[in-house]
Structure 1
Amino acid sequence: MVTVSLPTPVQPEFDTTIHRRKTRPVPVGTVTIGGGHPVVVQSMINEDTLDVDGSVAGIRRLHEIGCEIVRVTVPSMAHAKALADIKQKLESTYQRVPLVADVHHNGMKIALEVAKHVDKVRINPGLYVFEKPDAQREGYSDQEFADIGDKIRETLEPLVVSLRDQGKSMRIGVNHGSLSERMLFTYGDTPEGMVQSALEFIKICESLDFRNLVVSMKASRVPVMLAAYRLMVKRMDELGMDYPLHLGVTEAGDGEYGRIKSTAGIATLLADGIGDTIRVSLTEAPEKEIPVCYSILQALGLRKTMVEYVACPSCGRTLFNLEDVLHEVREATKHLTGLDIAVMGCIVNGPGEMADADYGYVGKQAGYIALYRGREEIKRVPEADGVQELINLIKADGRWVDP
């Protein structure tokens, strides 16, 4: 009897596409969050809202570099009224920009005023109806819990009705560090407490037939943030809710670690299909946040807003100064969008690693550069002419635009 060895079945390829959670579309001025629309980039000005000219300039700076929704803070009625002037001046001197306003601490009157002037109001459930901490308290009875729930509804209802009737939106923005005392006693300082806090507000909104809602579950520690968002998605799925999510690691800090921390939280969830709008919260000028947002989205293939550079880390086989050349190529082409450009130091891994690139710049022999279009080698040129010849090749293909 002859035994025939059959070849091992080839496993299907892994799906390299991120499949985003299906959410309802929520309008924020001229932008839509969720509903299959591209992930939206947000930030927040740090100017005092009473400074109308400064606020207009800050909003404009952010919008001009790609921030699609801008948030402002309104700690008082005077700040809320100043938003009318900010909005008018923006539209008369620049253009309409989707605006969100933060409202905290028993802010119903402020919220009602600000709802006239912005496209979305952000409230924090832990602060909207502020409960004065009681050092002697040991817990809440069912009746006490329900009574505060009734007070929240009474305070929230006028804002919900105003936003609903104007076709505007609300973000229910839960923060791990500002859960209400009632939630802390009932659920502890946990993701469950964060989720229950959000659900309480969502259910009030739904009872008033208002569903233009975006939800956030921010924390300053990445593991807590991840757990809270994942639990929120689980609960919403169980309840048949499809609200879009605003992602962020709050108070991430500054510098390299602030960027890494934000990316660890935001990108992890986006890779799982969770998230419809993002903000990277850095202790730096707000303009510094926008490139990080776009880099996260680009790296995950969710948005393509700049050139994607593929470059090897360099080794003993490298035939030119890879770091310098990559810098030269980037400076010459960084204004282009929608292209993949590979800069590879040698022939060993070059063609294979850059197979998906539109153009390749490869060191094949000392003093010469091989230029590729896709997998095809087009020509070899002296190293000194490499960057200009790459530009010429892109121009010849009709894919060049002047800076």
Structure 2
Amino acid sequence: MQTLATPTTTSNNTFNQPNIDTTIKRRKTRPVKVGDVTIGGSSPVVVQSMINEDTLDIDASVAAIRRLHEIGCEIVRVTVPSIAHAKALAEIKQKLIKTYRDVPLVADIHHNGMKIALEVAKHIEKVRINPGLYVFEKPDANRTEYTSAEFDEIGDKIRETLEPLVISLRDQGKAMRIGVNHGSLAERMLFTYGDTPEGMVESALEFIRICESLDFRNIVISMKASRVPVMLAAYRLMAKRMDDLGMDYPLHLGVTEAGDGEYGRIKSTAGIATLLAEGIGDTIRVSLTEAPEKEIPVCYSILQALGMRKTMVEYVACPSCGRTLFNLEEVLHKVREATKHLTGLDIAVMGCIVNGPGEMADADYGYVGKNPGYISLYRGREEIKKVPEDRGVKELINLIKADGRWVDP
């Protein structure tokens, strides 16, 4: 499990400018406990992922959950498509406790899932349901509308099916995620609100109201879509409606089916980071068509870039230009390899003196090309020493050691 450093906000008032708070102010939400992890409240944004092993394969599932948790995934989701899978999850949980530790798990329940959900709620900390699929409505190709009576009749069926699960989770002190997906809205929501963020929000609110009527509020909400603009609109509207209604449930952010590679990462970041920067979001998952382990570094990079969690060294480096006095890409690589384990530090590598001290003002240490063949090392804004280029990295390490901030890899 990675060690997390608490982010700090630095402000340099050298030029008598007023202090401006650059920290992101998150929307106030209630804390929701998922095992030993808390989503919402004053807790840091929680990182999640999902294994892709068949839950019936106990050993493979345990190994996959452990791999994710060891690299920083705090809550792991497991698909549970049948009663057999639900019972297997009990064995997975016990084997985790026996061979590793008790990792908070989420069971993913889909079509007509009441019996599965009730079984799985006995064994794990959180159940995720999809309002569009929990009570499946068979599409009618000849339908032109839903009457109020038909709409309410299905609403009653949903309550009847959801109530036993809510009571079970409530009485056990466990959690639920109401996970709305743009691509699987219930037919009556599509007819009433269209294929829109409004339909997504109303779908979630219907389930929230049933939970509240049963005095259950250990709820997390997600409004995922595969298109970023739809995802953004749905989460913003959900946050506004909850604020208007006096609800304070945490939000789980994600762009579903984001794909793979560079574009999958950019697409996920565009959606998740935009909302986090607005103060919306309490837990995140980056959904990539790759091994789940590849998702965790992207999550932490998003959170670090926004100053919300610090799990690695922050490197500030200029893009290089004609003024650069050394091979910037090569030197940055050398500095990174020597210092990347020093979680919590900010280190700047700048190619020349023109932008160096100013652009790296918030860094703990600076490595600047000031004269041909020489490197100037800085502590904050203060130049400490000038050394030959071939000794630059070694002398940077010595400076960090002298300050008592070095730890061995």
Bin for the TM-score computed over the shorter chain: over 0.9
Correspondence for 2:145: 139
Matching residue's letter, 1:32: T
**Residue 226 of structure 1, aligned match among 222, 229, 232:** 232
2:66 corresponds to: 60
SS in 2 for 1:186: helix
CA distance in 2, matches of 1:119, 1:359: 43
Structure 2 partner of 1:302:
308
Q: How does 1:197-208 map to 2 (within 5 A)?
A: 197-208=203-214
CA distance in 2, matches of 1:52, 1:282: 24
1:384 aligns with 2:390: yes
Where does residue 84 of structure 2 map in the other structure?
78
**2:6 aligned partner:** none
> For 2:374, which of 363, 368, 372 is the aligned residue?
368
The CA distance in 2 between the partners of 1:264 and 1:181, in whole Å, is 29
Range with bigger deviation, 375-384 or 217-226: 375-384
Residue in structure 2 matched with residue 354 of structure 1 by the alignment: 360
Matched, 1:255 2:261: yes
Q: What amino acid maps onto 1:371 in structure 2?
A: L
Match of 1:318 in 2: 324
- 1:345-397 CA-to-partner distances (Å, cap 9, x unmatched) read 00111001101100000001111111111111111111111111111111111
Q: Write the letter of the residue equivalent to 1:90.
A: L
Q: Match of 1:113?
A: 119
Q: Structure 2 residue aligned with 1:240, among 238, 241, 246?
A: 246
Secondary structure class of the residue paired with 1:399: coil
**Aligned match of 1:395:** 401
Question: Which residue pairs with 2:43 in the alignment?
Answer: 37
Question: 1:343: which partner in 2?
Answer: 349
Amino acid at match of 1:347: I
- Tell me how far 1:401 sits from its aligned partner: 1.1
| Residue 5 of structure 1: aligned partner | none
Give 1:324's aligned amino acid: E
Q: State the match for 1:98 in structure 2.
A: 104
**How far has the Cα of 1:36 moved from its partner?**
1.4
Name the amino acid aligned to 1:364. K
The farther-off stretch of 392-401 and 340-349 is 392-401
Q: How much does 1:15 deviate? A: 3.7
Matched, 1:287 2:314: no
Residues 123-174 of structure 1 show CA distances to partners (whole Å, capped at 9, x for unaligned) of: 0000000001111111110000000000000000000000000000000000
Cα offset for 1:66? 0.3
Q: Which amino acid aligns with 1:218?
A: K
CA offset at residue 14 of structure 1? 4.8
Following TM superposition, where does structure 1 have runs of at least 4 consecutive aligned residues deviating by more than 3 angstroms?
10-15
Deviation of the 1:185 alpha carbon: 0.3
Distance between the aligned counterparts of 1:89 and 1:400, measured in 2?
38
Count of aligned pairs between the two proteins: 394
TM-score between the two structures when normalised by the length of structure 2 = 0.95
Matched residue SS, 2:363: coil
SS of the equivalent of 2:386 reads strand
1:193 aligns with 2:203: no
Distance in 1 of aligned mates of 2:188 and 2:59 = 41
- 1:152 matched residue in structure 2: 158
Mapped partners of 2:122, 2:378: distance in 1: 56
Structure 1 letter corresponding to 2:63: A
Separation in structure 2 between the aligned mates of residue 149 and residue 112 of structure 1, nearest angstrom: 20
Q: Residue 3 of structure 2 corresponds to which residue in structure 1?
A: none
User: What is the percentage of aligned positions where both structures have the same residue?
Assistant: 88
Q: Is 1:165 aligned to residue 171 of structure 2?
A: yes
Deviation at 1:13, TM superposition (A): 5.8
> Does the residue aligned with 1:183 lie in a helix, a strand or coil?
helix
> What residue number does 2:276 align with?
270
- 2:43 corresponds to which letter in structure 1? H
Q: Deviations over 1:180-207 (max 9, x none)?
A: 0010000000000000000000000000
Aligned residue identity for 2:64:
G
Aligned partner of 1:16 among 8, 22, 32: 22
Provide Cα deviations, 1:287-317, integer angstroms capped at 9, x if missing partner: 0000000000000000011100000000011
Cα distance in 1 for residues equivalent to 2:406 and 2:280: 35
SS of equivalent to 2:211: helix
Q: What TM-score comes out, normalization by structure 1 length?
A: 0.97
The code of the aligned residue for 1:116 comes to K
The one-letter amino acid of 1:135's match is: A
Could you list the runs of 5+ residues in structure 2 that have no partner in the other structure? 1-15
The code of the aligned residue for 2:71 comes to I
Between the aligned partners of 2:253 and 2:365, the Cα distance in structure 1 is 34
Rounded Cα–Cα distance in structure 2 between residues aligned with 1:46 and 1:73? 8
Provide the rounded CA distance (Å) in 2 between the counterparts of 1:331 and 1:269.
Answer: 32
Cα drift, residue 100 of structure 1: 0.3
Structure 2 counterpart SS, 1:315: coil
1:182 and 2:191 aligned? no
CA distance in 1, matches of 2:46, 2:39: 7
Distance 2:286 2:154 in 1: 33
Q: Secondary structure at the match of 1:316?
A: coil
Q: 1:129 aligns with which of 96, 111, 135?
A: 135
